[in-house]
Amino acid sequence: MVKITALETHDVRFPTSRALDGSDAMNPDPDYSAAYVVLRTDSPDGLCGHGLVFTIGRGNDVQTAALAALAPMVVGQSVEAMIADLGSFARRLTGDSQLRWLGPEKGVMHMAIGAVINAAWDMAARHAGKPLWRFIADMTPQQIVSQIDFRYLTDALTPDQALQILRAAEPGKAERIERLLAEGYPAYTTSPGWLGYSDDKLQRLAREAVEEGFRTIKLKVGLSLDDDIRRCRLVRAAVGPDIAVAIDANQRWDVQQAIDWLWPLKEFGLAWIEEPTSPDDVLGHAAIRRGVAPTPVSTGEHTHNRVMFKQLFQAQAVDLVQIDAARVGGVNENLAILLLAAKFGVKVFPHAGGVGLCELVQHLAMADFIAITGKKEDRAIEFVDHLHEHFIDPVTIRAGRYLAPTRPGFSAEMHARSIAEYTFPGGIVWRDLPAAESA
Amino acid sequence: MVKITALETHDVRFPTSRALDGSDAMNPDPDYSAAYVVLRTDSPDGLCGHGLVFTIGRGNDVQTAALAALAPMVVGQSVEAMIADLGSFARRLTGDSQLRWLGPEKGVMHMAIGAVINAAWDMAARHAGKPLWRFIADMTPQQIVSQIDFRYLTDALTPDQALQILRAAEPGKAERIERLLAEGYPAYTTSPGWLGYSDDKLQRLAREAVEEGFRTIKLKVGLSLDDDIRRCRLVRAAVGPDIAVAIDANQRWDVQQAIDWLWPLKEFGLAWIEEPTSPDDVLGHAAIRRGVAPTPVSTGEHTHNRVMFKQLFQAQAVDLVQIDAARVGGVNENLAILLLAAKFGVKVFPHAGGVGLCELVQHLAMADFIAITGKKEDRAIEFVDHLHEHFIDPVTIRAGRYLAPTRPGFSAEMHARSIAEYTFPGGIVWRDLPAAESA
């Protein structure tokens, strides 16, 4: 029997706060970080699985400790049994009664469980010799349904309803796989729009993004209304009327404040306003959506589990949603969320950026196109162009589109050298920083 | 300047799973635990502050690591400045942009922040020579308002509205303090109703509880409908028609399942059904409440922050709520929740039991009686009679009522010997357990 022999963890941090990359209204100085996990096996071919939780610096040690705490539930387990029934594997971790108390199904412990579940999916896809999107796409509808924990969902989505959605997508699968491989999947970019950037840099980067083929650009907003109006105007002038411009407030406002702030921004024909308020505030998003119509409202990158997504849909609180590959309980919970979105007819624009989030979430969007909704040209995956060089199978963007990865697995694996150099606080990068600048 | 010199942590666990104390439909074998924190100072009189997060076993190490991660934000700070402005102290911890990513405001990191904030309040109350309930009660309305982070609340409660509620409670404060000291505060008991107990034990303990003066008894339900019907009938027979009987499903059901399950239990005239489904499911609770009327619906012990409580009230999803002293962001966030409940006219029946939760939450309920609602005889604090012997200032129950604590502080301090003996895994209690039984 091939067994999992170790759950290995690494606290990896990049000193990104030095360049104001990633600055927004709530996060002025993030150090993009990963609590990184590897499942090792005694397979003669070196089979392993990689996963990560993205954080923005302080607390990455706590997140790493949460990964390590899962070792007793995983080490010694049969790889074959795990791969053959990832649904049961995921439910055993998310359902552990003692660990569940620490959430339930939210925060540090839930994200750690999600990363270990993602590492198991990475291993399963590698073992099958397929990229993860294809590994999911090749499952039968019944196999996909068996991945999902329907607890707390059945008032919005039953296993039978999920099965119907998946069966309806079966015709045309092969043709869609060909199209995906040929065309790629639309991307949108947030790289021009960080709050810390100057007006010149914003306009220059926005123009460059359009020249590179992006059709949607997103700006960070929420610190100063005058700045936001000026920046929206500058970007609109730079990119012309045919490019979609979205804005992201990163949870900055209260409900009425959001409605008031967004009023003068209506003229720019925004594609969506993202995270106007607390990610927990389902009813607040619904009120904002009514108050700022027709501007579409969106949230999701911090939405902590399927129960919250369910309510966003039930309350008609959003026009579209983000999903995040490393916030919820792994691939299994994201499949539930994608099926809920399909049931309610809400488009998904996956959240990415950070460390490895582009690499991960592309697989989920592509699996959705092949096996769930059959749609991709009316939606897009976020793209931010940094830190990809640390990954063994980095995303490939061509003409504003993600090319489908072909290498087996979930694209989560980082270069061993990057892990070593950026390990906090002992890696060479952190040792060489002036003491006053370290976290 | 007196400074905080250390943030000390302890991973303390009690092997309660051996006796099935604390067993319910979702938590079959909890080992009641505390991630325990002490703020030390260089004050010549030994001033310190104690706090804790209650967990049920596995993961208490992660929770303890989260406490330790807060040391750099606290150690070296002025005690005087912290005590003089606990609102700013709390906002600095809950608002840290990097740590916030790990929630935001939920799960392991938020509970750790809450425990450190509670330790700061313990220190402030000790310094003032008052029990915490009295320390709060002696604040002016404006001082209480300044404790609260109103971000994300203003669509339901503004600072001015909070001030009005507090000012309306000012007349009669002195008289209520006298009454509280003379009469105590009503308690209810969950001790008879754990799922692991036999029918005989259930009836015997229920009768004993009534003889001791309790007017409300709570049973755990949700594993078997037949068992629940039988157990409700047995308890009703044991205690007679005048004692309130509540039930607690500990998040066991989906929405429709809850409605169906509760139908045959209506005949027992239940005082409330607690946690029928996911604590995240605001809309689910609202649907259940409509479906099981007139049985009152309740939740709150796992409700992770003020934004979720706000929505429970806005959606008319609950008839009453639990609050928990160690789940949310400390005393400050609980003051916000108590004011929201007062604004919406929803009664609070605080959650207790576990390790130290009775000791802590009594102060909040009593402060509510003196300074916010002025009410106590139409509500009650949960009481479970175990593990109190490990606390220096344990709760005192007389004739089914909590007597008001008089010792300065928040009653969170454990005996040093208990901490040493129950420290996991090195304490003598854990070393002496057979290896197969250790967590």
Other C-beta atoms closer than 10 Å to the C-beta of A412 total: 28
pLDDT value, residue A438: 45
> Which residue of chain B is at minimal alpha-carbon distance from A149?
B254
> Which residue of chain B is at minimal alpha-carbon distance from A256?
B155
pLDDT value, residue A439: 45
- Cβ contact, residue pair A58, B98, below 8 Å: yes
Residues 6+ apart with CB under 8 A from B68: B7, B9
d(CA A279, CA B280): 12
> In the numeric block, which tokens belong to residue B64?
């303890």
Beta strands across the sheet bearing A33-41: A4-13, A33-41, A48-55
Give pLDDT tens digits for A233-244.
999 999 999 999
Q: Are strands B401-402 and B185-193 parallel, antiparallel or unpaired?
A: antiparallel
- Cβ contact, residue pair A251, B69, below 8 Å: no
pTM over cut 0.95: yes
- Cβ contact, residue pair A111, B103, below 8 Å: no
Q: Is the pLDDT of residue A436 over 60?
A: no
- Cβ contact, residue pair B66, A69, below 8 Å: no
pLDDT value, residue A432: 86
Q: Are strands A216-220 and B4-13 parallel, antiparallel or unpaired?
A: unpaired
Compute the average pLDDT of residues A184-207.
93
Whole-angstrom Cα Rg for chain B: 21
Average pLDDT, chain A: 96
Domain range summary for chain B, segments of one domain joined by +: 4-151, 166-417
CB A384 within 8 A of CB A32: no
CB B110 within 8 A of CB B305: yes
> How far B106 CA lies from chain A's nearest CA (Å)?
6
Q: Is the pLDDT of residue A397 over 50?
A: yes
Give pLDDT tens digits for A274-306.
999 999 999 999 999 999 999 999 999 999 999
Compute the average pLDDT of residues A169-198.
94
> How far A23 CA lies from chain B's nearest CA (Å)?
11
Q: Which of B351, B363, B376, B390 is catalytic?
A: B351
> In the numeric block, which tokens belong to residue B380?
């009650």
pLDDT value, residue B237: 96
- Cβ contact, residue pair B109, A62, below 8 Å: yes
Work out the pLDDT band at A419, boundaries 50, 70, 90: very high
Compute the average pLDDT of residues A406-427.
98
Work out the pLDDT band at A25, boundaries 50, 70, 90: confident
Please give the CATH architecture assigned to the domain spanning A4-151: 2-Layer Sandwich (3.30)
> How far A353 CA lies from chain B's nearest CA (Å)?
14
Give the residue from A7, A33, A58 with the most B CB atoms within 10 Å of its CB, the best one to mutate.
A58
Which chain B residues touch A255 with a CB distance below 8 Å?
Answer: 154-155
Q: Which of A50, A110, A351, A376 is catalytic?
A: A351
pLDDT value, residue B439: 45
- Cβ contact, residue pair B55, A101, below 8 Å: yes
Among candidates A100, A152, A283 on the partner chain, residue whose Cβ is nearest the Cβ of B314: A283
Our measurement of the distance from residue A394's CA atom to the centroid of its chain's CA atoms, rounded to an integer in Å, reads: 15
Which chain A residues touch B284 with a CB distance below 8 Å?
Answer: 152, 155, 307, 311
Among candidates B59, B106, B314 on the partner chain, residue whose Cβ is nearest the Cβ of A99: B59
- Indicate whether this complex's ipTM tops 0.90: yes
B351 is catalytic: yes
Among candidates B56, B63, B308 on the partner chain, residue whose Cβ is nearest the Cβ of A280: B308
**Terminal Cα distance for chain A, rounded:** 44
Which chain A residues touch B344 with a CB distance below 8 Å?
Answer: none
A220 is catalytic: yes
What's the full length of chain A, in residues? 439
Q: Is the pLDDT of residue A18 over 90?
A: no
Which chain A residues touch B255 with a CB distance below 8 Å?
Answer: 154-155
What DSSP line would sit under A335-391, residue for residue? HHHHHHHHHHT-EE-----TTTHHHHHHHHHHHHHHHTS---TT--EEE--SSGGGB
Compute the average pLDDT of residues A346-369.
98
- Cβ contact, residue pair B281, A30, below 8 Å: no
> How far A269 CA lies from chain B's nearest CA (Å)?
26
User: Percent of chain A scored above 90 by pLDDT?
Assistant: 93
**Terminal Cα distance for chain B, rounded:** 44
> How far B352 CA lies from chain A's nearest CA (Å)?
15
Phi, psi dihedrals of residue A299, rounded to the nearest 5°: -160, 180
CATH of B166-417, one of 2.30.30.60, 3.20.20.120, 3.40.50.2300, 1.20.1070.10: 3.20.20.120
Residue A318 DSSP SS3 = coil
Give the residue from A11, A67, A98, A424 with the most B CB atoms within 10 Å of its CB, the best one to mutate.
A98
Compute the average pLDDT of residues A7-14.
98
> Which residue of chain B is at minimal alpha-carbon distance from A153?
B254
Give pLDDT tens digits for A59-105.
999 999 999 999 999 999 999 999 999 999 999 999 999 999 999 99
Give the residue from B7, B52, B73, B101 with the most A CB atoms within 10 Å of its CB, the best one to mutate.
B101
CB A31 within 8 A of CB A14: yes
Other C-beta atoms closer than 10 Å to the C-beta of B67 total: 29
Give pLDDT tens digits for B19-41.
666 677 777 788 999 999 999 99
Give pLDDT tens digits for A318-342.
999 999 999 999 999 999 999 999 9
pLDDT value, residue A178: 98
Residues of chain B with pLDDT below 50 are 436-439
- Cβ contact, residue pair A281, B27, below 8 Å: no
Q: Is the pLDDT of residue A437 over 60?
A: no
- Cβ contact, residue pair A155, B287, below 8 Å: yes
Q: Which of B106, B110, B220, B285 is catalytic?
A: B220
> Which residue of chain A is at minimal alpha-carbon distance from B73?
A58
Among candidates B65, B251, B305 on the partner chain, residue whose Cβ is nearest the Cβ of A62: B65
**Exposure string (b/e) for A324-345, b if CB count within 10 Å is 16 or more?**
bbbbbbbbbbbbbbbbbbbbbe
Among candidates B56, B155, B311 on the partner chain, residue whose Cβ is nearest the Cβ of A101: B56
Our measurement of the distance from residue A411's CA atom to the centroid of its chain's CA atoms, rounded to an integer in Å, reads: 13
